[in-house]
Amino acid sequence: MASTLAAAPSERSYIGPMIIIGVLFFIMGFFTWLNGPLTIFVKLAFKLDDVSAFLIPVAFYLSYFVLALPSAAILKRTGMKHGMGLGLFVMAIGAVLFAQFIDLRVYHGALVGLFVIGAGLSLLQTASNPYISILGPIDSAAQRIAAMGICNKLAGAAAPFVFGWLVLSGLDTLDQQVKAAATPAAADALLNSFASRVYWPYLTMAALLVLLAIWVVRSNLPEIKPAGANDEHAIGHTGRSIFSFPHLWLGVLCLFLYVGVEVMAGDAIGIYGQGLGLPLDATKHFTAYTMFAMLSGYLVGLVLIPRFVSQQRYLAVSAVLGVLLAIGAYVTTGYASVTFVAALGFANAMMWPAIFPLAIKGLGSHTEVGSAYLIMGIVGGALVPQAFVHLKEFVNFQLAFVLLMVPCYLYILYYGLRGHRVGQHAAA
């Protein structure tokens, strides 16, 4: 039976748990960053416009908003370890549903499958992020989350290439064949065959998720009690309600905006490239380029935080870089503009690792619920891209992009400089 820890374990004892959590972050990254190529896939398979195709991230990220608080309640009963296993099992159910509905060419059913996958991920995120944050000293949490981020983004970089190889090969040729089909029935036959390409890959992933769930539950992953490991005594809020932590609520908004810009740089980059007139067979890999940029950002963050720069200061610098790169994307065209968008991955890399521990710092017994509210902020990944596809119907899509991205980065800059300390300095 796993041991229960009242406080964070020593440095030597958390290497094993970090490996297990790293595997989970790899799984989360693979499924999350499939959304970019999936958006391109459904747009062709179901002959959708951009607004309808972007229901993919809406269905996926909306589940976090709906199910994060129930996830926290579940974790109170199951503990973090068994909650992670349950999350993997729920993801497996969602993968089966997605495969079946795509094969039947029922788009709204496929969205339900994605929502269920997101529900499992919500449970995983609500457990794993505070777990890795309080597994060691909270002031170095960004470094540990960055290590997890490398696992996440390695999967994110691989996902578009794996999905492209298995499902999206020959997109430009297929698009031409569909347009040249002699009858609507012939075109539908081509699209039916194309849609069925995802069936077996998703069933295979479902089977692997079930095996991983069993492995996690049977592992020696220790339980950590947040009340002991992330004590509110440190900032003088003993016994207070969760609403007495303004730095948490400012962090929820910060995470909402961060996930929005992250999805814009990662998932929306393919549609962005199509808007520039770039070929389909090129745009299907653009998400991977953003992931490679994020990997570079994580590696730099691992070296610099906290030895040379604090996590909050690095967050502020990253936000300034995000503003500059977003403007660079606006003033350029073609592959140069796409390069600026992909480079946003570097600016975004250390934002989640910095925002999450800053927002939950000192929450003590409120850590699970506070983490759940932060996970709810992931819904920004649904709403910001939707704002983009609607706004670009009225203004040039590059202008729509910069009008959304710059204000988001400016708020993240505020949180890194000042917002994370609101309510804490007075108590201290």
Number of domains the chain contains? 1
Per-residue pLDDT averaged across 85-90, rounded?
95
Which amino acid does the sequence have at 127?
A
Q: Does residue 84 sit in helix, strand or coil?
A: helix
More confident residue, 233 or 275: 275
More confident residue, 112 or 309: 112
Length of the chain: 428
Contacts of 132 (CB under 8 A, 6+ apart): 18, 21, 141, 144, 145, 148
Which amino acid does the sequence have at 123?
L
User: Does some domain include residue 383?
Assistant: yes
Q: What is the mean pLDDT of the chain?
A: 86
Per-residue pLDDT averaged across 98-116, rounded?
95
Residue 390 banded pLDDT, cuts 50, 70, 90 = very high
User: Does some domain include residue 3?
Assistant: no
CA distance readout (Å), 87 to 80, 82, 195: 10, 9, 27
Q: Within 10 Å of residue 274's Cβ, how many Cβ atoms? A: 18
User: Does some domain include residue 220?
Assistant: yes
pLDDT of 8 > 70? The answer is no
CB 92 within 8 A of CB 209: yes
Instruction: Please tell me the least confidently modeled range out of 130-134, 160-164, 237-241, 331-335.
Output: 237-241
How far apart are alpha carbons 203 and 193 in whole angstroms?
Answer: 17
Which amino acid does the sequence have at 41?
F
pLDDT of 264 > 90? The answer is yes
The pLDDT, as a whole number, for residue 27 is 92
Question: Quick one: DSSP state of residue 106?
Answer: -
CA distance readout (Å), 368 to 24, 62, 135, 255, 412: 18, 20, 14, 16, 23
The pLDDT, as a whole number, for residue 90 is 96
pLDDT of 357 > 90? The answer is no
User: Does some domain include residue 2?
Assistant: no
> What would the pLDDT profile of 212-263 be if each residue is shown by its tens digit?
999 999 988 877 665 555 555 444 444 578 888 999 999 999 999 999 999 9
User: Does some domain include residue 278?
Assistant: yes
pLDDT of 24 > 50? The answer is yes
pLDDT of 385 > 70? The answer is yes
- The parent domain of residue 287 ranges over 8-427
Query: The CATH number of the domain where 141 resides is what?
Result: 1.20.1250.20
Which residues are paired to 4 by β-bridges?
Answer: 223
pTM (predicted TM-score):
0.80
The pLDDT, as a whole number, for residue 46 is 92
How far apart are alpha carbons 366 and 136 in whole angstroms?
Answer: 18
Per-residue pLDDT averaged across 18-47, rounded?
89
Instruction: Please tell me the least confidently modeled range out of 15-19, 20-24, 109-113.
Output: 15-19
User: Does some domain include residue 149?
Assistant: yes
pLDDT of 3 > 50? The answer is no
More confident residue, 208 or 149: 208
> What would the pLDDT profile of 301-355 be if each residue is shown by its tens digit?
888 877 888 888 999 999 999 999 999 999 999 999 999 999 999 999 989 888 9
The pLDDT, as a whole number, for residue 246 is 92
Per-residue pLDDT averaged across 423-427, rounded?
59
CA distance readout (Å), 289 to 83, 156, 200, 344: 33, 10, 26, 10
User: Does some domain include residue 14?
Assistant: yes
Residue 53 banded pLDDT, cuts 50, 70, 90 = very high
The pLDDT, as a whole number, for residue 140 is 67
